[in-house]
Homo-oligomer: A and B are copies of this chain.
Amino acid sequence: MAQATIGNSEFDRDTAVTPREPGVHDAELSSAWTIIHAVNGGYLLAMAGRALGEVLPHSDPFTVTAHYLTASRPGPARIRTEVVRTGRTLSTGQASLTQLDENGAEVERLRVVAGYGDLGALPDDVRTTAKPPAMPPFEECLGARHADDEVGALLGATEIAGRLDVRLDPATAGWARGKPSGNGEMRAWFRLADGRDADPLSLLLAVDALPPTAFEMGISGWVPTVELTAHIRSRPAPGPLRVAITTRNLAGGFLEEDAEVWDSRDRLVAQSRQLARAQLG
């Protein structure tokens, strides 16, 4: 398969939105981006983000928040957008992704509010104390391509595995062998399976594409996202990304998942935090 490019890839095709009327886009939620039957939350976020990029004067997501209201299903969807404010350097928009239920009633799946700008227009200054995660090189991490491997088999068991090339740090893959570390950490190399390089939109996918940290904390149940906020801090350089997710506080049946995404230049290109529900056994 020839390497896909930004604008011509599975991700670009499957997040396409079609203008229907001013501020309203039609879309098709692809079954290729599902985990069991749930459509991946990062894929939905990227699709809503793409619609907002169409209606706002700025093209790059800076801060995007999504509240996940009901479970999305593969099939047709509609995205209604509102331009909340337009400014010189930042503009703000809102998006609502809906689907029709079995009775033909429109049901909202997620509500998004986002600030957009131009990452290319930002000054180059960087003063950071954040360090890229310490993890083995890409080739030494565990991916769904390793069909003979328990981890590979588990990672490969979901539809979305065919679209992503996720290589887990072995130190955070104990859950797949029935030996979770007990630490709320998950680290992996991440790229799209067809080789498409990362851009600000695909970073919205990357922050929610790893197995939940809860698995390494010994929780095997589903961990549905209530709310996720992603900050896109820099345009990612070509090459695989490193994603590190941390959970520090599991309490009252809820936990936070903080994700950092690093590019091949060792730039922190995205930070995200989600509030998720833990189904405690």
A residues sitting closer than 8 Å to B (CB atoms) are 62-63, 65, 67, 69-70, 84-85, 90, 92, 94, 108, 111, 113, 115, 119, 122-130, 183-184, 217, 226-227, 229, 231, 233-234, 248-254, 256, 267-268, 271, 273, 275, 280
Among B90, B111, B234, contact of A226 (Cβ-Cβ < 8 Å): B90
Nearest CB of chain B from residue A225's CB, rounded to whole Å: 10
Among B124, B130, B233, contact of A254 (Cβ-Cβ < 8 Å): B233
Nearest CB of chain B from residue A134's CB, rounded to whole Å: 16
- Known pairs A124-B252, A125-B280; A111 contacts B113 (CB<8 A): yes
Nearest CB of chain B from residue A47's CB, rounded to whole Å: 18
A65-B113, A126-B249 given; name 18 further pairs at CB < 8 Å.
A63-B67, A84-B108, A94-B111, A115-B275, A119-B252, A122-B252, A123-B252, A125-B252, A126-B250, A126-B252, A127-B250, A127-B251, A128-B248, A128-B249, A128-B251, A130-B249, A233-B252, A251-B268
The complex places the Cα of A67 from the Cα of B250 at a distance, in Å, of 27
Nearest CB of chain B from residue A223's CB, rounded to whole Å: 14
The complex places the Cα of A9 from the Cα of B72 at a distance, in Å, of 44
Contact between chains at B130 and A248 (CB < 8 Å): yes
The complex places the Cα of A123 from the Cα of B252 at a distance, in Å, of 5
The complex places the Cα of A225 from the Cα of B182 at a distance, in Å, of 36
Among B62, B94, B184, B231, contact of A129 (Cβ-Cβ < 8 Å): B184
Contacts of A252 on B, CB cut-off 8 Å? 119, 122-126, 233-234
**Chain B CB within 10 Å, residue with most, of A267, A275, A280:** A275
Closest residue on chain B to residue A112 by CB atoms:
B113
Contact between chains at B63 and A227 (CB < 8 Å): yes
